[in-house]
Chains A and B, each alone.
Chain A
Amino acid sequence: MKLAKILMAGALATTALTTAAMADVKVGLLGGISGPIAAMSPSMIAASKLAIAQVNAQGGVLGGQKLEAILGDSACNPQNGVDAATKLVNVEQIVGLIGPHCSGAVLAVANSVTIPAGVALITPSGTSPEITGLDDGDKVFRTVPSDDYQGRALARTLLAQGTKKVAVAYLNNDYGSGLAGAFKAEFTSKGGEVAGYAAHEEGKASYRSNLAELASGGADTLVIFDYGDGTGLTILRQSLENGFFENFVGGDGMKSEAIIKELGAENLTTFTSSSPVGEASDSNAKFTKAFTEAGGSADAIFATTSYDAAFLMALGVEIAGGDKAKVAAAIASASNGEGEKVEAGEWKKALELIKAGKAIDYQGASGSLDFNAKGDVPGSYALFKVDGDSFSVKTTMK
């Protein structure tokens, strides 16, 4: 009992000390540190911390105060996420939350902590379409596009190319069925015809009967939502061998070099695949340079979106003048396609613009962002074609 008391006192003393020593502006950085995405989260956190370090090195926020990121662990589940977020919001008194990293944790944290408390939240990696529909009073943002988006963008791109009739084969899991559902809805509503639409299970030796069934609808283009180093490869090979279809289009999972290696570039002239691009912009180059210097790998998944989430949070805090209630509106105004362009790492420029009362349009490392009314970003996708041993951009997708 005594020991427990001493420990408690110690804990309280340390928290008191840290709060007293640094009267800084605090933001929460809630990552899936332990748990299923433990391998991905260190580079995501490093990217967010890079943005905060740049802000502090170039003059800080609110007239020279330091921005401090308090790290929390969501373990990628709602229980731990809500626990950590409650502490960040109430005990640490953060002005805004960067994270959590997983969709389930985002939904629970937003619903039970940040929305009731009126704190702005930006997630760099919650891709669930459910987040769009949150009853959030415009307090929830994300720098990563919704899963829905890629399927819809691909549908529009195909229609724009003049492909009006397709068959769709998708892997029967949440990735495949989510993409296929969004694609089908958009394709048919914009005047296309889906002549075959079927799920397939993973790891079978032959998909010829599935393909024959799909081909019987009369489409000459097959859209595949699967993984190029798995079942997707088998499907592609068997439809090439048997001549079921002429043109092939894949989702981002199909953009795998395994396909070129196995099937040969000469056989893949009619194959294209959509994939997200960290738009080859100046902003992206600036981020890549800074992040590589800081010891990170800019290709790490969600690194660019994590950086953008933290940078936008800093912009929001600065524009709102540190007022917690105004941060969300400030974030929305900092990347809406209107105003002077600010790129990754240009905090000093942003400070001057804000001081002069000018509107800012943040161009992120992951793309131009531009939040819509739901706090979502459209994302940047491109259609890739096979070019030698790798892929090259054929056209951007809108």
Chain B
Amino acid sequence: MELLGYLNYAVYMAIFIGIYAILALALNIQWGFTGLFNAGVAGFFAVGAYTSAILTSAAAEGRLGGYELPVIVGWLASMLAAGAIAWPIGKICLRFRSDYLAIATIGIAEIIRLVIKSEGWLTGGARGISKIPRPFSDFEYLYTQLSYLALVMIALFLVYYMIERQLKAPWGRMMRAIRDNEAAANAMGKNIEARRLQAFVFGSAIMGLGGAMLAHYYRSITPEAIDPMIATFLVWIMLILGGSGNNKGAILGVVVVWIIWSMSEFVTDSLPAEYAIKAKYLRIFIIGLLLQLVLRFRPEGILPETAKSSTSTSDQQTSNNNKGEAEPSPAQSA
């Protein structure tokens, strides 16, 4: 019985890590490879989660819904919707550089959150949407979890594989060139604005998928789930800690941060009862401390970006030189 419990917990952890890994990979496209400081992950996450929830859930009084489409349609639509929202935002905001873009995207994520909270006819307002179907939810506890894990892993693998392929292709080299030396890339005749927009829309669509997968796992979505703390900054911490610019690093960052976060509760729980409430804050402190230490001693993250270019050594050197100057925020050097 105990063993089954541990297994259930492990499967839950794997599902959660898988979903957040999708978010971290999406952010990696924008920040790690293109240098776009998107501090509005929560906004695209929310668009995806709500789109899929509205399309797949049963009808409810007072809000849009009742289409009861298959879950897979909901997921695809969540990517489309998040991408479609990202397009005009990117069109307007990508002219801003680094920190200005960050401020603009934080603002946009807040707008999306407040629209979701106040437009009850669309999203259920503060009540949120519940009764979102989850595939295989008729099985036993462990088997529903395992089958959902399989879906998450398939999605994660597809996202990972597609991004890796794309990065090895000329497109990936071009993106890194734009990130590291915009003027040179421009001189080579690359359409920088369009490429940036591509990366922004592509990354945001994947964030939408992550949001949808979490909503279907919880079988409910409420405005509390799209709080910037848990849906934006947590993803950033994971990516920076694991190593931005490296997809394996992004996934590793999610694993490390969430395992420390979740399992540290067992340690803090063994403190005397009078500290029980304070001990919960200790976990937030541990994550903060970890981020400080990593930024101080290993700013490139646990698994740093590896230069993948093999066509010319000089190309590689330039990119490395530029990286050296620009870390930990490559976009600012441009």
Closest CB-CB distance, A130 to chain B, in whole Å? 5
Q: Tell me which residues from 2 to 36 in chain B have a Cβ below 8 Å from any Cβ of chain A.
A: 2, 4-6, 8-9, 12, 16
Residue A10 at the B interface, CB < 8 A? yes
> Can you give 13 contacting A-B residue pairs, CB < 8 Å?
A11-B263, A17-B270, A18-B270, A78-B218, A80-B230, A83-B261, A90-B5, A91-B5, A107-B222, A112-B134, A116-B137, A130-B124, A133-B130
| Residue pair A116, B141 in contact (C-beta under 8 Å) | yes
Q: Which residues of A contact B261 (CB under 8 A)?
A: 83
Q: CB of B135 within 8 A of chain A?
A: no
Complex interface: chain B residues within 8 A of A104 (CB): 128, 220, 222-225
A72 to B220, CA, bound (A): 21
Given contacts A102-B224, A107-B220, A128-B222, 20 further A-B contacts (CB under 8 A): A14-B270, A18-B270, A71-B277, A77-B224, A79-B214, A90-B8, A104-B128, A104-B223, A107-B130, A111-B220, A112-B134, A112-B218, A117-B141, A118-B141, A133-B130, A134-B130, A172-B118, A174-B117, A174-B127, A181-B62
Q: Which B residues are in CB contact (< 8 Å) with A90? A: 4-6, 8-9, 12
A91 touches B6 (CB 8 A): yes
Known contacts being A10-B267, A14-B270, A111-B220, is A83 close to B262, with CB within 8 Å? yes
Residue picked from B127, B140, B270, B281, most chain A C-beta under 10 Å: B127
A93 lies within 8 A of chain B by Cβ: yes
A residues with CB within 8 A of B: 8, 10-11, 14-15, 17-18, 33-34, 41-42, 45, 70-73, 75-80, 82-84, 86-87, 89-91, 93, 102-105, 107-108, 111-112, 116-118, 128-130, 133-135, 172-174, 177-178, 181
Chain A: CB-nearest residue to B219: A111
Q: Chain B residues with Cβ under 8 A from A18's Cβ?
A: 269-270
User: Which residues does chain A contribute within 8 Å of B284, judged by CB atoms?
Assistant: 34
Q: How far is the CA of A260 from the CA of B223 in the complex (A)?
A: 36
Query: B residues within 8 A CB of A71?
Result: 269, 276-277, 280
**Minimum Cβ distance to chain B for residue A112 (Å):** 5
Tell yes or no: B125 within 8 A of A by CB. Answer: yes
3 closest cross-chain pairs (CB), A and B: A104-B224, A104-B222, A174-B126
- CB contacts (< 8 Å) of B144 on chain A: these are 116
Please determine whether B280 and A78 come into contact, CB atoms closer than 8 angstroms.
Answer: no
Interchain CA distance A187-B192 in the complex, whole Å = 61
| A128 engages B127 (CB within 8 Å) | yes
Q: B9 near A87 (CB under 8 angstroms)? A: yes
Q: Is A105 in contact with B224, judged by CB distance below 8 angstroms?
A: yes
Instruction: Assess whether B127 is in contact with A14, with CB atoms less than 8 Å apart.
Output: no
- Chain B residues near A41 (CB-CB < 8 A): 277
Judging by beta carbons under 8 Å apart, are A107 and B230 in contact? no
Specify the chain A residue showing the minimal Cβ separation from B256: A4
Contact call B267/A130, Cβ cutoff below 8 A: no
